[in-house]
């Protein structure tokens, strides 16, 4: 069977770049596939081509993917094309799964028993918590355990040692020492974790050439999907396995590498033709998902990254609405706008954000209003995070200023210069002497006059914060009670305090906020109210590989998205981090099929470098041109022109009404649009009528 017959028999329709990728089988090949270019279809089709046109035995082909779910999906896609029986003859595995086979082969070859795999997540968390407590003398929160798990995975996947290992930062931990303790504890228990599977498999392949040779003989063709998400140690293992035959097919896109925190190694793609000098680098640049406007905006945006191949994404779909800027005053206005949009949502709509914390105030409002939504993989680590725990503990201490245990966990975080000895004495004696702890220190000769003064001020703050709205209490704690300074001095992240403040805006007192946090934690764990709801909340990471009719990117502000902004003399590490932020935003942009909106803020301090690139300020020439055209816009246009103008007034756009000022079109039924004005009013307006009399225009 030749290629033409193969395409006809299986009803395959491929563009020229896809055909080239399918037919390039021998030697090292890197296929760079832009979003929406049909990557999985091409990979599956190529496997069929190898099997039926090149007649390569399926047992000689090993296909590796990033996740178990992706491996199963690819096998199912292959079965749909070429039959279940044929699909069962091919191997679709994760790289971890391949490493497990290498270890099992080693056991059979030498009659030895490898360490047992630590599969129980709770057991691993308990071990990490135990080691943390031994080092820090404190109990680890859920978020601390998660941070340590992530750091351990990163270190092993990046193959870090020495200074590079010591450079990893996890709050309250000497990570290099912790890493050594963890490694030792696993060995003593004869255990290995999932990352160790790769460490040990690589060691086996390097130390036992006969085992490496056996795997190289068995598999002659290697396919790797989502190569941009693959780590340094995984690429090293793949290079060894494919070293004899040289038949390595990698599919990925460095522009979509967004898992740096998991040790994704996009340099393997940008350096591919250096590592493999005879390599062919192929491109798939046709986007079959999004409108021309979305593709053009996303492509222009990603071109500003430097560590990438020279490729351009090209649209195959027709025109759609322009990429829109939804300008609101602040984050509270953002949540209000999104709630109104959710209330009337009938079109598949994904609200995307950088991390799970961003969704919490929106989930809170949706839950209060009983508005249905669907949520993808929201974690509840926020509620046990150190910053949240500290702030809520300060509120609890305000409720019970005699609580010595709480005080001892807080006193050094409040900027009052209280020594450990003074703190311990006050915690032990104050209540017995009928004094609050801070009052005891304020009257103690063991404390300096400055500390006495600060303790009196803290007493006043604690009294007042219980009598104000919860968001104001949070603001007081962070900005006036020394906690914000404590965090800044230690390089801490204040974004969780910002989220807590946003949640507090709906609560009349701090006590009520404490109750609401417990309620909200249960709400978050439920993951939404309706599995079929068209209104979806998701991190950009969780949305990767998915697509939605309409996408709204929220919390687009410097410090959140992008998380980092490099300074004038930034180190390479900081520049690399900024490039990953740009890639993350790019992935968010390219999830949209037809309608893409970016929420931006007018409040000072909430500006966004990314938004300024997409929506540059008007030049004076443009403003003069617009000013000249305004009188003509007030003239009454004909009916056909009105109808054409009205088509662009779709939910999500920003507009200005002559009488009511700026607002957002929340929903539309026929000619009637519901507009949420920035003033707080909501009006139903006949769009075509308002356009005809010159009352309405787009911003």
- Model confidence over 294-331: pLDDT tens digits? 999 999 999 999 999 999 999 999 999 999 999 999 99
Beta bridge partners of 325: 598
Over range 536-544, report the average pLDDT: 95
Range in 105-114, 513-522, 590-599, 654-663 with the lowest mean pLDDT: 654-663
Residue 648 has pLDDT above 70, yes or no: yes
pTM (two decimals): 0.85
d(CA 132, CA 148): 9
Residues 151, 261, 166: CA angle, nearest 5 degrees: 40
What is the total residue count of the chain?
699
Return the DSSP state at 171: T
3-class SS at 77? Answer: helix
**Burial group, residue 630, by CB count within 10 angstroms (0-12, 13-18, 19+):** exposed
Residue 376 is predicted with a pLDDT of 76
Q: Residue 371 pLDDT more than 50?
A: yes
Token pair in block for residue 57: 């035995």
State how far the Cα of 437 lies from the Cα of 411, in Å rounded to an integer. Answer: 10
Work out the angle between the directed axes of helices 232-241 and 142-157 (0-180°, nearest 10): 40
CA dist 264 and 257 (Å) reads 7
pLDDT confidence of residue 652: 77
Summarize the confidence of residues 283-301 as an average pLDDT: 97
Q: Can the peptide bond before residue 562 be classed as cis, meaning omega within 30 degrees of 0?
A: yes
| Residue among 662, 653, 644 at smallest CA distance from 596 | 653
Cα dist from 213 to 61, 102, 651, whole Å: 16, 12, 61
Please give the pLDDT value at position 531: 82
Answer for the pair 232, 157: CB distance below 8 angstroms, yes or no.
Answer: yes
Residue 405: the pLDDT is 95
Residue 401 has pLDDT above 70, yes or no: yes
Please tell me the distance from the alpha carbon of residue 470 to that of residue 476, in angstroms, as a whole number. 10
Q: What number is the average pLDDT over the span 635-649?
A: 66
CA-to-CA distance for 208 and 485, rounded, in angstroms?
55
CA 167, 173, 178: angle at the middle one, nearest 5?
80
Pairing status of strand 661-669 against strand 116-117: unpaired
Would the CA dihedral through 462, 465, 470, 476 be positive or negative?
Answer: negative
Q: Which helix (H) or strand (E) holds 221?
A: strand 221-224
The answer to whether 355 touches 372, Cβ cutoff 8 Å, is no
What is the pLDDT at residue 215? 97
CA distances, 305 to each of 162, 310, 376, 575 (Å): 30, 10, 29, 10
- Which three-class secondary structure state does DSSP give residue 139? coil
β-partners of residue 287 are 315
CA 284 to centroid of chain Cα atoms: 25
Matching residue, tokens 């795999």: 117
CA gap 699, 696 in Å, rounded: 10
* Structure tokens belonging to residue 492: 């801490």
Answer left, alpha or beta for residue 392, where phi above 0 means left and psi between -120 and 50 means alpha: alpha
Confidence of residue 103 (pLDDT cuts 50, 70, 90): very high
Closest CA to 234 of 250, 220, 246, 221: 250
Give the start-end residues of each E strand in 623-671.
Answer: 654-657, 661-669
Q: How far does Cα 424 stand from its chain's mean position?
A: 42
**649 contacts 688 by C-beta, under 8 angstroms:** no
**pLDDT cut 70: percent of the chain above it:** 96
């Amino acid at each position: 069977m030749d290629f033409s017959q193969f395409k006809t028999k299986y009803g395959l329709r491929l563009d020229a770049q896809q055909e080239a990728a399918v037919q390039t089988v021998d030697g090292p090949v890197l296929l760079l596939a832009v979003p929406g270019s049909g990557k999985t279809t091409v990979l599956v089709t190529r496997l069929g081509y190898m099997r039926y046109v090149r007649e390569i035995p399926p047992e000689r082909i090993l296909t590796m993917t990033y996740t178990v779910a992706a491996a199963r999906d690819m096998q199912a896609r292959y079965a749909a094309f070429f039959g279940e029986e044929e699909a069962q003859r091919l191997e679709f595995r994760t790289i971890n799964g391949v490493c497990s086979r290498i270890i099992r082969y080693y056991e059979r070859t030498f009659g030895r028993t490898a360490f047992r795999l630590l599969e129980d997540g709770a057991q691993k968390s308990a071990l990490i918590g135990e080691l943390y407590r031994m080092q820090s003398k404190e109990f680890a929160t859920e978020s601390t355990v998660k941070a340590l798990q992530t750091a351990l995975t990163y270190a092993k996947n990046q193959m870090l040692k020495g200074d590079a290992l010591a450079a990893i930062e996890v709050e309250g931990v000497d990570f290099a020492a912790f890493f050594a303790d963890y490694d030792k504890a696993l060995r003593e228990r004869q255990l290995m974790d999932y990352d160790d599977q790769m460490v040990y498999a690589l060691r086996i392949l390097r130390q036992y050439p006969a085992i490496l040779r056996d795997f190289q003989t068995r598999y002659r063709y290697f396919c790797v999907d989502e190569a941009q998400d693959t780590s340094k140690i995984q690429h090293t293992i793949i290079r060894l396995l494919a070293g004899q035959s040289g038949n390595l097919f990698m599919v990925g896109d460095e522009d979509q590498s967004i898992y740096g925190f998991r040790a994704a190694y996009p340099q393997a793609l940008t350096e591919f033709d250096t590592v493999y000098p005879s390599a062919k680098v192929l491109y798939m640049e046709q986007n079959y998902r999004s409108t021309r406007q979305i593709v053009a905006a996303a492509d222009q945006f990603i071109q500003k990254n430097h560590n990438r191949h020279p490729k351009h994404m090209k649209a195959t779909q027709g025109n759609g609405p322009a990429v829109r800027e939804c300008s609101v005053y602040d984050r509270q206005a953002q949540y209000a706008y999104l709630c109104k949009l959710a209330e009337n949502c009938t079109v598949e709509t994904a609200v995307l954000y950088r991390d799970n914390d961003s969704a919490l105030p929106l989930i809170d409002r949706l839950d209060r209003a009983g508005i249905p939504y669907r949520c993808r993989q929201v974690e509840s680590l926020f509620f046990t995070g150190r910053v949240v725990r500290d702030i809520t503990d300060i509120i609890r201490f305000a409720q019970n200023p005699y609580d010595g245990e709480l005080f001892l966990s807080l006193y050094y975080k409040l900027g009052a210069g209280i020594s450990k000895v003074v703190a311990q004495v006050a915690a032990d004696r104050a209540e017995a002497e009928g004094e609050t702890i801070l009052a005891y220190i304020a009257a103690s000769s063991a404390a300096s006059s400055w500390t006495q003064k600060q303790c009196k001020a803290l007493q006043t703050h604690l009294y007042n914060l219980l009598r104000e709205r919860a968001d104001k209490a949070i603001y007081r704690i962070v900005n006036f009670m020394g906690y914000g300074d404590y965090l800044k001095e230690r390089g801490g992240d204040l974004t969780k305090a910002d989220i807590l403040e946003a949640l507090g805006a709906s609560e009349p007192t701090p006590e009520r906020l404490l109750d609401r946090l417990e309620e909200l934690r249960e709400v978050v764990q439920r993951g939404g109210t309706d599995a079929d709801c068209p209104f979806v909340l998701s991190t950009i990471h969780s949305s990767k590989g998915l697509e939605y009719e309409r996408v709204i990117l929220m919390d687009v502000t410097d410090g959140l998205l992008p998380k980092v902004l490099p300074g004038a003399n930034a180190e390479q590490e900081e520049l690399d981090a900024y490039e990953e932020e740009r890639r993350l935003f790019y992935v968010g942009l390219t999830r949209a099929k037809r309608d893409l909106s970016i929420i931006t803020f007018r409040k000072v301090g909430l500006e966004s470098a990314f938004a300024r690139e997409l929506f540059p300020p008007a030049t004076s020439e443009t403003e003069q041109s617009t000013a000249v055209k305004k009188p003509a816009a007030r003239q009454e246009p004909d009916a056909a022109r009105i109808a054409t103008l009205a088509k662009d007034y779709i939910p999500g756009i920003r507009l200005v009404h002559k009488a009511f000022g700026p607002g957002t079109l929340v929903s539309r039924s026929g000619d009637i649009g519901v507009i949420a004005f920035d003033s707080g009013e909501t009006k139903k307006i006949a769009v075509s009528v308002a356009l005809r009399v010159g009352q309405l225009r787009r911003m």
